[in-house]
Structure 1
Protein backbone atom coordinates (compact mmCIF):
# COMPACT_ATOMS: atom_id res chain seq x y z
CA UNK A 1 0.00 0.00 0.00
CA UNK A 2 2.80 2.43 0.94
CA UNK A 3 4.66 1.66 -2.29
CA UNK A 4 1.53 2.42 -4.35
CA UNK A 5 1.06 5.70 -2.50
CA UNK A 6 4.72 6.59 -3.06
CA UNK A 7 4.42 5.72 -6.76
CA UNK A 8 1.28 7.86 -7.08
CA UNK A 9 2.98 10.76 -5.29
CA UNK A 10 6.05 10.53 -7.57
CA UNK A 11 3.84 10.45 -10.66
CA UNK A 12 2.01 13.57 -9.53
CA UNK A 13 5.21 15.41 -8.63
CA UNK A 14 7.01 14.50 -11.83
CA UNK A 15 4.06 15.18 -14.10
CA UNK A 16 3.71 18.79 -12.86
CA UNK A 17 6.52 20.23 -14.99
CA UNK A 18 5.35 18.22 -17.99
CA UNK A 19 1.84 19.59 -17.66
CA UNK A 20 3.16 23.15 -17.30
CA UNK A 21 5.13 22.80 -20.53
CA UNK A 22 2.14 21.36 -22.38
CA UNK A 23 -0.07 24.32 -21.49
CA UNK A 24 0.61 27.12 -23.99
CA UNK A 25 1.27 30.59 -22.62
CA UNK A 26 -0.90 33.56 -23.45
CA UNK A 27 -0.82 34.65 -27.07
CA UNK A 28 0.25 38.27 -27.39
CA UNK A 29 0.06 40.47 -30.49
CA UNK A 30 1.78 43.85 -30.82
CA UNK A 31 0.50 46.18 -33.53
CA UNK A 32 3.51 48.32 -34.40
CA UNK A 33 2.51 51.65 -35.93
CA UNK A 34 5.28 51.34 -38.52
CA UNK A 35 8.56 49.64 -39.32
CA UNK A 36 10.87 52.57 -38.54
CA UNK A 37 14.13 52.08 -36.65
CA UNK A 38 12.50 53.18 -33.38
CA UNK A 39 9.62 50.71 -33.62
CA UNK A 40 11.95 47.94 -34.76
CA UNK A 41 13.95 48.52 -31.56
CA UNK A 42 10.75 48.52 -29.48
CA UNK A 43 9.54 45.28 -31.05
CA UNK A 44 13.01 43.74 -30.74
CA UNK A 45 13.00 44.48 -27.02
CA UNK A 46 9.48 43.02 -26.71
CA UNK A 47 10.56 39.87 -28.55
CA UNK A 48 13.56 39.41 -26.26
CA UNK A 49 11.41 39.78 -23.14
CA UNK A 50 8.73 37.46 -24.55
CA UNK A 51 11.39 34.85 -25.31
CA UNK A 52 12.79 35.13 -21.77
CA UNK A 53 9.28 34.61 -20.38
CA UNK A 54 8.40 31.87 -22.91
CA UNK A 55 5.41 33.88 -24.12
CA UNK A 56 4.44 33.69 -27.78
CA UNK A 57 4.58 37.18 -29.31
CA UNK A 58 3.47 38.14 -32.79
CA UNK A 59 4.46 41.55 -34.16
CA UNK A 60 2.44 43.08 -36.98
CA UNK A 61 3.83 46.20 -38.68
CA UNK A 62 1.64 48.89 -40.21
CA UNK A 63 3.81 49.53 -43.25
CA UNK A 64 1.35 52.10 -44.64
CA UNK A 65 1.80 54.23 -41.49
CA UNK A 66 -1.73 55.62 -41.41
CA UNK A 67 -4.42 55.45 -38.77
CA UNK A 68 -6.88 53.72 -41.10
CA UNK A 69 -4.33 51.10 -42.15
CA UNK A 70 -3.63 50.59 -38.43
CA UNK A 71 -7.35 49.94 -37.92
CA UNK A 72 -7.29 47.49 -40.86
CA UNK A 73 -4.34 45.70 -39.25
CA UNK A 74 -6.31 45.39 -36.00
CA UNK A 75 -9.32 44.04 -37.91
CA UNK A 76 -7.08 41.40 -39.51
CA UNK A 77 -6.04 40.27 -36.03
CA UNK A 78 -9.67 40.28 -34.86
CA UNK A 79 -10.71 38.08 -37.80
CA UNK A 80 -8.12 35.35 -37.15
CA UNK A 81 -9.49 31.97 -36.09
CA UNK A 82 -7.27 31.98 -32.99
CA UNK A 83 -7.65 35.33 -31.25
CA UNK A 84 -4.83 36.69 -29.11
CA UNK A 85 -5.19 36.84 -25.35
CA UNK A 86 -3.48 40.25 -25.25
CA UNK A 87 -3.12 43.09 -27.73
CA UNK A 88 -0.51 45.83 -27.35
CA UNK A 89 -1.27 49.01 -29.30
CA UNK A 90 -0.30 52.63 -29.61
CA UNK A 91 -3.21 55.07 -29.39
CA UNK A 92 -3.93 56.64 -32.77
CA UNK A 93 -6.29 59.57 -33.15
CA UNK A 94 -9.61 58.59 -34.68
CA UNK A 95 -9.29 54.78 -34.45
CA UNK A 96 -8.30 53.96 -30.87
CA UNK A 97 -11.88 53.87 -29.60
CA UNK A 98 -12.94 51.45 -32.35
CA UNK A 99 -10.01 49.12 -31.69
CA UNK A 100 -10.63 49.14 -27.93
CA UNK A 101 -14.37 48.50 -28.28
CA UNK A 102 -13.90 45.67 -30.78
CA UNK A 103 -11.20 44.00 -28.68
CA UNK A 104 -13.34 44.33 -25.56
CA UNK A 105 -16.32 42.72 -27.32
CA UNK A 106 -14.07 39.81 -28.35
CA UNK A 107 -12.63 39.41 -24.84
CA UNK A 108 -9.10 40.44 -25.85
CA UNK A 109 -7.18 42.28 -23.14
CA UNK A 110 -5.59 45.48 -24.46
CA UNK A 111 -2.68 47.51 -23.13
CA UNK A 112 -2.09 50.91 -24.76
CA UNK A 113 1.21 52.73 -24.57
CA UNK A 114 3.63 55.34 -25.90
CA UNK A 115 1.15 58.12 -26.70
CA UNK A 116 -1.47 59.84 -24.60
CA UNK A 117 -5.04 58.61 -24.78
CA UNK A 118 -6.84 60.71 -27.41
CA UNK A 119 -9.43 63.08 -25.88
CA UNK A 120 -12.20 61.58 -28.05
CA UNK A 121 -11.38 58.12 -26.67
CA UNK A 122 -11.36 59.42 -23.11
CA UNK A 123 -14.72 61.10 -23.69
CA UNK A 124 -16.36 58.01 -25.19
CA UNK A 125 -14.92 55.08 -23.21
CA UNK A 126 -13.10 56.69 -20.30
CA UNK A 127 -9.82 55.37 -18.98
CA UNK A 128 -8.58 51.79 -18.68
CA UNK A 129 -10.93 49.54 -16.67
CA UNK A 130 -13.59 52.25 -16.29
CA UNK A 131 -16.02 51.16 -19.00
CA UNK A 132 -14.12 48.54 -20.98
CA UNK A 133 -13.02 45.77 -18.61
CA UNK A 134 -10.61 44.27 -21.15
CA UNK A 135 -8.68 47.54 -21.54
CA UNK A 136 -6.29 46.63 -18.76
CA UNK A 137 -3.89 49.56 -18.74
CA UNK A 138 -2.09 52.45 -20.35
CA UNK A 139 1.39 53.94 -20.10
CA UNK A 140 2.67 57.07 -21.80
CA UNK A 141 5.77 59.17 -21.30
CA UNK A 142 5.63 62.65 -19.85
CA UNK A 143 7.34 64.34 -22.79
CA UNK A 144 7.17 67.79 -21.20
CA UNK A 145 8.94 66.66 -18.04
CA UNK A 146 11.43 64.63 -20.09
CA UNK A 147 12.19 67.70 -22.22
CA UNK A 148 12.70 69.89 -19.15
CA UNK A 149 14.99 67.30 -17.58
CA UNK A 150 17.01 67.01 -20.79
CA UNK A 151 17.30 70.82 -21.07
CA UNK A 152 18.54 71.07 -17.47
CA UNK A 153 21.14 68.35 -18.01
CA UNK A 154 22.37 69.89 -21.26
CA UNK A 155 22.57 73.36 -19.68
CA UNK A 156 24.53 71.95 -16.75
CA UNK A 157 26.92 70.16 -19.08
CA UNK A 158 27.40 73.24 -21.27
CA UNK A 159 28.08 75.53 -18.29
CA UNK A 160 31.68 76.74 -18.10
CA UNK A 161 33.75 75.06 -15.45
CA UNK A 162 36.83 76.18 -13.57
CA UNK A 163 38.68 72.96 -14.36
CA UNK A 164 41.38 73.18 -17.03
CA UNK A 165 40.61 71.51 -20.33
CA UNK A 166 43.68 69.26 -20.17
CA UNK A 167 45.92 68.13 -17.36
CA UNK A 168 49.21 66.33 -17.10
CA UNK A 169 49.11 62.64 -16.22
CA UNK A 170 50.71 63.50 -12.86
CA UNK A 171 47.80 65.81 -12.04
CA UNK A 172 49.77 69.04 -12.48
CA UNK A 173 49.03 72.08 -14.62
CA UNK A 174 48.46 71.65 -18.34
CA UNK A 175 51.45 71.96 -20.60
CA UNK A 176 52.18 75.48 -21.75
CA UNK A 177 51.55 76.09 -25.41
CA UNK A 178 54.70 76.41 -27.55
Structure 2
Protein backbone atom coordinates (compact mmCIF):
# COMPACT_ATOMS: atom_id res chain seq x y z
CA UNK A 1 0.00 0.00 0.00
CA UNK A 2 1.33 3.38 -0.98
CA UNK A 3 1.43 6.09 1.68
CA UNK A 4 -0.97 8.98 1.94
CA UNK A 5 0.46 12.18 0.42
CA UNK A 6 -0.73 15.55 1.72
CA UNK A 7 -0.97 18.44 -0.73
CA UNK A 8 -1.10 21.85 0.98
CA UNK A 9 -3.40 24.60 -0.29
CA UNK A 10 -0.63 27.20 -0.04
CA UNK A 11 1.44 25.24 -2.60
CA UNK A 12 -1.18 24.93 -5.37
CA UNK A 13 -0.02 26.57 -8.61
CA UNK A 14 -2.23 29.24 -10.16
CA UNK A 15 -3.18 28.77 -13.84
CA UNK A 16 -5.14 31.01 -16.24
CA UNK A 17 -8.57 29.88 -17.45
CA UNK A 18 -8.72 28.53 -20.99
CA UNK A 19 -11.07 31.40 -21.91
CA UNK A 20 -8.86 34.03 -20.24
CA UNK A 21 -11.62 35.11 -17.83
CA UNK A 22 -9.84 34.31 -14.58
CA UNK A 23 -7.57 31.83 -12.85
CA UNK A 24 -7.65 28.46 -11.16
CA UNK A 25 -5.55 26.92 -8.42
CA UNK A 26 -4.68 23.43 -9.58
CA UNK A 27 -4.72 20.93 -6.71
CA UNK A 28 -3.52 17.87 -8.63
CA UNK A 29 -3.91 16.03 -11.94
CA UNK A 30 -2.98 12.66 -13.35
CA UNK A 31 -0.44 14.22 -15.69
CA UNK A 32 -1.41 11.88 -18.52
CA UNK A 33 -1.64 12.85 -22.15
CA UNK A 34 -4.96 14.11 -23.40
CA UNK A 35 -6.65 16.94 -25.24
CA UNK A 36 -5.78 19.28 -22.41
CA UNK A 37 -2.79 17.39 -21.00
CA UNK A 38 -4.61 15.37 -18.34
CA UNK A 39 -7.05 12.52 -17.84
CA UNK A 40 -8.38 14.09 -14.63
CA UNK A 41 -7.80 17.27 -12.63
CA UNK A 42 -8.92 18.75 -9.31
CA UNK A 43 -8.92 22.53 -8.90
CA UNK A 44 -10.33 25.54 -7.06
CA UNK A 45 -11.57 28.61 -8.93
CA UNK A 46 -12.65 32.07 -7.84
CA UNK A 47 -15.54 33.50 -9.87
CA UNK A 48 -15.85 37.25 -9.37
CA UNK A 49 -18.58 37.96 -11.93
CA UNK A 50 -21.28 36.15 -13.88
CA UNK A 51 -20.14 34.89 -17.28
CA UNK A 52 -19.14 32.01 -19.51
CA UNK A 53 -17.16 28.88 -18.64
CA UNK A 54 -14.30 27.37 -20.63
CA UNK A 55 -15.15 24.36 -22.79
CA UNK A 56 -13.38 21.07 -22.17
CA UNK A 57 -14.28 18.88 -25.14
CA UNK A 58 -14.18 15.17 -24.28
CA UNK A 59 -14.39 15.79 -20.53
CA UNK A 60 -17.02 15.57 -17.80
CA UNK A 61 -17.14 18.25 -15.09
CA UNK A 62 -18.40 18.20 -11.50
CA UNK A 63 -18.53 21.59 -9.75
CA UNK A 64 -19.29 22.48 -6.11
CA UNK A 65 -19.64 25.94 -4.59
CA UNK A 66 -17.31 26.25 -1.58
CA UNK A 67 -17.83 29.88 -0.54
CA UNK A 68 -20.39 32.55 -1.36
CA UNK A 69 -24.15 32.47 -1.72
CA UNK A 70 -24.18 30.28 -4.81
CA UNK A 71 -24.87 30.35 -8.53
CA UNK A 72 -27.14 29.05 -11.23
CA UNK A 73 -25.74 27.63 -14.46
CA UNK A 74 -27.18 27.78 -17.96
CA UNK A 75 -26.08 24.55 -19.65
CA UNK A 76 -26.78 24.49 -23.39
CA UNK A 77 -29.61 26.98 -22.77
CA UNK A 78 -31.23 25.04 -19.90
CA UNK A 79 -31.06 26.39 -16.31
CA UNK A 80 -29.58 24.20 -13.58
CA UNK A 81 -31.05 24.10 -10.11
CA UNK A 82 -29.74 26.86 -7.83
CA UNK A 83 -26.33 25.63 -6.62
CA UNK A 84 -25.68 26.43 -2.98
CA UNK A 85 -22.50 25.53 -1.05
CA UNK A 86 -21.58 21.84 -1.09
CA UNK A 87 -24.26 20.84 -3.64
CA UNK A 88 -22.27 19.12 -6.40
CA UNK A 89 -23.46 19.45 -10.00
CA UNK A 90 -22.22 17.51 -13.05
CA UNK A 91 -22.24 18.63 -16.69
CA UNK A 92 -20.56 17.84 -19.98
CA UNK A 93 -17.37 19.76 -20.71
CA UNK A 94 -18.49 20.12 -24.36
CA UNK A 95 -21.54 22.14 -23.25
CA UNK A 96 -22.04 25.87 -23.63
CA UNK A 97 -22.10 26.95 -19.95
CA UNK A 98 -22.55 30.34 -18.28
CA UNK A 99 -23.11 31.16 -14.62
CA UNK A 100 -25.26 33.72 -12.87
CA UNK A 101 -23.87 34.51 -9.41
CA UNK A 102 -26.35 34.85 -6.55
CA UNK A 103 -25.29 37.73 -4.36
CA UNK A 104 -21.64 38.14 -5.21
CA UNK A 105 -18.37 36.28 -5.87
CA UNK A 106 -17.95 32.59 -5.14
CA UNK A 107 -15.16 30.05 -4.81
CA UNK A 108 -15.73 26.59 -6.26
CA UNK A 109 -14.19 23.13 -6.33
CA UNK A 110 -13.90 21.31 -9.66
CA UNK A 111 -13.33 17.78 -10.87
CA UNK A 112 -12.73 17.52 -14.61
CA UNK A 113 -12.12 14.05 -16.08
CA UNK A 114 -12.16 12.20 -19.39
CA UNK A 115 -14.97 9.61 -19.09
CA UNK A 116 -13.49 7.65 -21.99
CA UNK A 117 -10.42 7.04 -19.82
CA UNK A 118 -11.66 7.16 -16.19
CA UNK A 119 -14.61 6.21 -14.03
CA UNK A 120 -15.20 8.81 -11.30
CA UNK A 121 -17.15 9.14 -8.07
CA UNK A 122 -17.41 12.32 -5.97
CA UNK A 123 -19.09 12.48 -2.54
CA UNK A 124 -19.28 15.10 0.21
CA UNK A 125 -19.08 14.02 3.88
CA UNK A 126 -19.48 15.93 7.13
CA UNK A 127 -18.94 13.92 10.32
CA UNK A 128 -17.92 15.09 13.79
CA UNK A 129 -17.08 11.50 14.75
CA UNK A 130 -14.61 9.27 12.84
CA UNK A 131 -16.12 7.46 9.83
CA UNK A 132 -14.56 4.60 7.86
CA UNK A 133 -14.61 4.39 4.09
CA UNK A 134 -13.27 1.63 1.85
CA UNK A 135 -12.28 2.11 -1.78
CA UNK A 136 -10.73 0.01 -4.51
CA UNK A 137 -10.24 3.01 -6.84
CA UNK A 138 -6.83 3.58 -8.45
CA UNK A 139 -6.74 7.18 -7.15
CA UNK A 140 -8.44 8.28 -3.93
CA UNK A 141 -8.40 11.97 -3.01
CA UNK A 142 -9.76 13.62 0.13
CA UNK A 143 -10.31 17.39 -0.14
CA UNK A 144 -10.73 19.26 3.14
CA UNK A 145 -13.57 21.78 3.51
CA UNK A 146 -12.75 22.21 7.21
CA UNK A 147 -10.14 24.17 9.12
CA UNK A 148 -9.08 20.83 10.62
CA UNK A 149 -9.78 17.44 9.02
CA UNK A 150 -8.30 14.19 10.33
CA UNK A 151 -7.51 11.56 7.69
CA UNK A 152 -5.83 8.22 8.24
CA UNK A 153 -5.12 5.34 5.88
CA UNK A 154 -5.39 1.89 7.41
CA UNK A 155 -3.40 1.71 10.64
CA UNK A 156 -1.21 4.73 9.84
CA UNK A 157 -1.20 7.72 12.17
CA UNK A 158 -3.81 10.37 11.28
CA UNK A 159 -2.78 13.35 9.16
CA UNK A 160 -4.26 16.77 9.90
CA UNK A 161 -5.46 18.69 6.85
CA UNK A 162 -6.23 22.41 6.89
CA UNK A 163 -8.81 24.23 4.80
CA UNK A 164 -8.54 23.20 1.11
CA UNK A 165 -5.63 20.81 1.71
CA UNK A 166 -5.91 17.48 -0.12
CA UNK A 167 -4.79 13.95 0.75
CA UNK A 168 -3.93 11.72 -2.19
CA UNK A 169 -3.62 7.92 -2.18
CA UNK A 170 -2.74 5.50 -4.95
CA UNK A 171 -3.61 2.06 -3.59
CA UNK A 172 -1.42 -0.68 -5.04
CA UNK A 173 -4.20 -3.24 -5.20
CA UNK A 174 -7.08 -4.26 -3.01
CA UNK A 175 -9.06 -1.95 -0.77
CA UNK A 176 -7.79 1.19 0.88
CA UNK A 177 -9.30 1.90 4.29
CA UNK A 178 -9.73 5.55 5.24
CA UNK A 179 -10.86 7.07 8.49
CA UNK A 180 -12.28 10.59 8.12
CA UNK A 181 -13.28 13.10 10.78
CA UNK A 182 -14.61 16.45 9.56
CA UNK A 183 -16.06 18.07 6.42
CA UNK A 184 -14.55 16.80 3.19
CA UNK A 185 -15.03 15.61 -0.37
CA UNK A 186 -13.86 12.13 -1.40
CA UNK A 187 -13.03 11.66 -5.08
CA UNK A 188 -12.40 8.16 -6.47
CA UNK A 189 -10.95 7.65 -9.97
CA UNK A 190 -10.12 4.43 -11.80
CA UNK A 191 -8.89 3.90 -15.35
CA UNK A 192 -11.29 2.19 -17.77
TM-score exceeds 0.5: no
Greater relative contact order: 1 or 2 (C-alpha under 8 angstroms, separation 6 or more)? Answer: 2
More strand by share: 2
Structure number with bigger Rg: 1
More helix by share: 1
TM-score by length of 2: 0.24
TM-score by length of 1: 0.25
